[in-house]
Amino acid sequence: MPRAPTAADLNVQPRQRRIVYEGLAELPAGSSVRDLLRDLGLPETELRETLRKLDQAGLARRTKGTWCAVPLATDRPPATVPDVDPDTPEA
């Protein structure tokens, strides 16, 4: 199973790719190239090349014509909630 991309993976990308990634990340359901062209104002060839590069870097994925940002992995472990009620005395 491939590892999830991190913020460091995104930071090494050129500015245009980061802008496209951030645009995709704002849309959890994803977006078509046509909608991205309208929203981001990039030329179509540049947008398509940027999406391909993000896909190669593991930062975006395409499913049936819809591009989605791959969520970044965090360095922090998930927060855990203790199973013990602090008001209950231990036996």
- Does the pLDDT value for residue 6 go beyond 90? no
Distance, CA of 82 to CA of 42 (rounded, Å):
49
**Per-residue pLDDT tens for 55-75?**
988 888 999 989 998 887 765
**Per-residue pLDDT tens for 16-38?**
888 888 888 888 888 899 999 99
Give the domains, in start order, of the chain with CATH numbers. Answer: 10-66 (1.10.10)
Q: Treating both helix axes as pointing N-terminal to C-terminal, what angle do 44-56 and 15-25 enclose, rounded to 10 degrees? A: 80
- Does the pLDDT value for residue 79 go beyond 70? no
- Does the pLDDT value for residue 45 go beyond 90? yes
Task: Give this prediction's pTM.
Answer: 0.70
